[in-house]
Amino acid sequence: MRNASATIYCEQGRKEAMHNKGAIKTRKLPQDRSLGRIMLVLSLGVMVLAIAALALGRYYVSLEEVVRILGSQVWPLEQTWDQTMHDVVMNLRMPRVVAAVLVGGALSLAGATYQGMFENPLVSPDILGVSSGACVGAAGAILLGLGNAQIQVFAFFGGLAAVSLTLLIPFLMRRKSTIALVLSGVIVGGFMMSILGLMKYIADPETELADMVYWQLGSIAKVTYDNLFNIAPIIIISGMVLIMMRWRINILSLGEEQARLLGVNLQLERGVAIICATLLTASAVCLSGTVGWIGLIMPHIARMVVGNDNVRLLPAATLMSAGFLIIIDTAARTLTGGELPLGILTGFIGAPFFAWILIKQRGII
Amino acid sequence: MAALLEVNNACFAYQDKRLILNNVSFSIEKGDIFTILGPNGSGKSTLLNCITHLYSLTAGEILIDGKDVNHMSPSQIAQKIAYLPQSTLVTYGYSVREFIVMGRAPHLGIFSKPKQEDYMLADETIAMMNLTHFAHKPVTHISGGERQLASIARAIVQKPELILFDEPTSALDYGNQMKALRMIKRLSEEGYAVIMTSHNPDHAILLGGAAGVLSRTGQMETGSVDEILEQERLSELYGTKLQIVYVNEIARVACLPESL
């Protein structure tokens, strides 16, 4: 009679299995326990960083007042703060902190998903051309003299249009392989960069060109509650779908052939992951412009802490990246008298960090 | 009652139109061992890829429990058939335990992750196969032999009825080759049907059961190992003089080359 669990390879092994069976039944799985603890610590860390970011800036508000102002949104508290403090915390800094959490989390989640799905730890969320497409969309809106809200809309749909083009090429080739998709992403990314170059060439160097360059360097200084209400649902829903299918990304990371042999419907599951990761990246880019390195390095840092299993990696990378972008954005508005673009700061941290990874892993590279 | 696997007049050609499989037919029941022999490039791996529907036949049919493989979803196929390719390359250092529990994928939906009973099944298999000493090592940091064992454990956790081995001994030293063959024999004794490809006719003799000899023209002759492994047929197949001889000291027939 065939039964895998009854397969007896040796008496010793069987006894050990019976012993373990009893032990495992009575306790929680170790990976669930550690995941819960790690998520709790990381969530608390993000909350602490968010409160600190609301306090810090040229106009300092004490931590106690920040907590009271936040508390007053829920409970009736005696007012010990003035209106300026309230406006700085709730109207100036809060949208930035929420945007940092959403953008940081979205880029890292998309990056970790792509790194798993394309079996390559050096992949960034832009692999299918979404950021370069968003840049072209935003640059087009700037050339047309449109406002901030329209720039975001153009960026979002520019990103989606670029990815659609990337998906179209393998379809025309009648090839479903990962390599065809990645090559197509390289082609579309390169083409978008050429269009962007042309747009920069014809742009007014005093106004439009400066706006394009600043947008490309990334900033969440202009984010409003209206922007957040429009974009947050897309990020939250796409993010939830990816978090729910995170174990399946383990299977996709074994490669196309192995995944199919393990019963994965490649077209469907890879399609869902690509759609969600693209929506996350396009939403993040339309809120902040292009913020490089985060989607590439944060999954690596998370991997060092929680390991390679995407069940733990995806939520950990999302939270760690949210916290990291809060720190970067706070530094961007406090380090100098002006506003530093986020892309510059993430580049200063990301490039040396990547060099450090290369040196550390020299034995296997 | 339908056979577990039926391959009827299977034909397969790549884009250059050269026929790799030419009217191949055989069937497998539970507990059978079937060894496919043939020279390099004769289509042994292609045949396994067609059985798992990684490739689609150009003509003929493959039935699993009477159902045409063309009309089965990947998860339905994977619930019946586990396939161990020649090498399993893994990019990320999942622990061996995490790697083994991935065998539960055909039984879980897109938004599911393994439950306690899935991990229990993996842990039982790890213990029964004596893999405990490397169960928590990264799968990228274990030897080829250990990875082969981990892949077999993953196949068992998959709970299939048929296991396909594509040249399971090709990357192993002599001792590990014998271990792998013993494992395959034992799986068949447990009730799994096994199809294995091999370059070594002696492996078919050691395992017994049935064998198929796939020639470069894509045609396959099948029969019991005793019937099919004739020295003229094998010598012609491999283009070298081979002898099937009874060796008194080991009390069995063996396939040996005459000379260099």
SS (H, E, C) A192-251: HHHHHHHHHHHCCCCCHHHHHHHHHHCCCCCCCHHHHHHHHHHHHHHHHHHHHCHHHHHH
Inter-axis angle of helices A225-244 and A310-334, nearest 10: 160
Whether A289 is in a domain gets the answer yes
Pairing of strands B67-68, B59-64: antiparallel
Per-residue pLDDT tens over the stretch A247-269: 999 999 999 999 999 999 999 99
A142: number of Cβ within 10 Å: 23
B112: number of Cβ within 10 Å: 15
Most confident of A241-250, B127-136, B209-218: A241-250
Q: Is residue B141 located within the same domain as residue B242? A: no
Whether A180 is in a domain gets the answer yes
DSSP code at position B33? E
The number of distinct structural domains making up chain A is 1
B179 touching A, CB under 8 A? no
The C-alpha of B75 sits at a distance from chain A's nearest C-alpha, in angstroms, of 4
DSSP code at position A90? I
Parent domain of A155: 31-336
If contacts are CB pairs under 8 Å, which of residues 112-141 in chain A contact chain B? 116, 119-121
CATH number of the domain enclosing A158: 1.10.3470.10
The number of distinct structural domains making up chain B is 2
The complex's ipTM?
0.91
What amino acid occupies position B1?
Answer: M
Chain A residues with beta carbon closer than 8 angstroms to that of B75: 263-265
- Beta carbons of B166 and B44 less than 8 angstroms apart: yes
Per-residue pLDDT tens over the stretch A116-156: 998 888 888 888 889 999 999 999 999 999 988 889 899 99
Chain A residues with beta carbon closer than 8 angstroms to that of B30: 2
Residue B12 pairs with which residues in a beta bridge? B21
Q: What pLDDT score was predicted for residue B148?
A: 87
Q: Is residue B224 located within the same domain as residue B235? A: no
Q: Is residue B238 located within the same domain as residue B211? A: no
**Of A24, A263, A309, which has the smallest distance from its Cβ to B78's Cβ?**
A263
A355 touching B, CB under 8 A? no
CATH number of the domain enclosing B154: 3.40.50.300
Whether A364 is in a domain gets the answer no
Which parts of chain A fold into alpha helices (H)? 11-25, 30-55, 63-72, 83-86, 94-117, 130-143, 148-173, 178-202, 208-217, 225-244, 246-252, 256-261, 266-288, 294-306, 310-334, 342-360
The residue to which tokens 């969600």 are assigned: A276
* Angle made by CA atoms A270, A272, A277, in degrees to the nearest 5: 95
Q: Is residue B119 located within the same domain as residue B186? A: yes
Q: Is residue B180 located within the same domain as residue B249? A: no
Whether A353 is in a domain gets the answer no
How many residues are recorded in chain B?
260
B90 touching A, CB under 8 A? yes
What amino acid occupies position A205?
Answer: P
Q: Is residue B250 located within the same domain as residue B138? A: no
Q: What pLDDT score was predicted for residue A32?
A: 52
Parent domain of B259: 230-260
Per-residue pLDDT tens over the stretch A277-322: 999 999 999 899 889 889 999 999 899 889 899 999 999 999 999 9
Give the residue with greater pLDDT, B180 vs B29: B29
| Number of alpha helices (DSSP H) and beta strands (DSSP E) in chain B | 9, 12
Chain B residues with beta carbon closer than 8 angstroms to that of A309: 94-95, 98
Q: For an interface test with B, give the residue of A27, A34, A178, A262 to mutate (most B CBs within 10 A).
A: A262
Q: What is the rounded distance in angstroms from the CA atom of residue A299 to the CA atom of residue A336? A: 29
DSSP code at position B135? T
Whether A63 is in a domain gets the answer yes
Minimum CA–CA partner of B184 in chain A? A9
Q: Is residue B234 located within the same domain as residue B114? A: no
Whether A69 is in a domain gets the answer yes
If contacts are CB pairs under 8 Å, which of residues 218-247 in chain B contact chain A? none
Q: What pLDDT score was predicted for residue A304?
A: 87
Whether A341 is in a domain gets the answer no
**Of A14, A251, A264, which has the smallest distance from its Cβ to B128's Cβ?**
A14
Q: Is residue B249 located within the same domain as residue B126? A: no
List the strands of the sheet with B59-64, edge to edge.
Answer: B19-28, B5-13, B59-64, B67-68
Q: Is residue B31 located within the same domain as residue B134? A: yes
Q: Is residue B50 located within the same domain as residue B16? A: yes
DSSP code at position A87? I
Whether A270 is in a domain gets the answer yes
The C-alpha of A286 sits at a distance from chain B's nearest C-alpha, in angstroms, of 28
State yes or no: pLDDT of A5 exceeds 70.
no
State yes or no: pLDDT of A11 exceeds 70.
no
B117 touching A, CB under 8 A? no
**Of A10, A16, A268, which has the smallest distance from its Cβ to B132's Cβ?**
A16
Lowest mean pLDDT among A27-41, A102-116, B88-102: A27-41
**Of A20, A272, A308, which has the smallest distance from its Cβ to B92's Cβ?**
A308
Give the whole-number percent of chain B exceeding pLDDT 70.
100
Give the residue with greater pLDDT, A26 vs A236: A236
Q: Is residue B253 located within the same domain as residue B173? A: no
State yes or no: pLDDT of A365 exceeds 90.
no
A11 touching B, CB under 8 A? no
Q: What is the rounded distance in angstroms from the CA atom of residue A127 to the CA atom of residue A205? A: 30
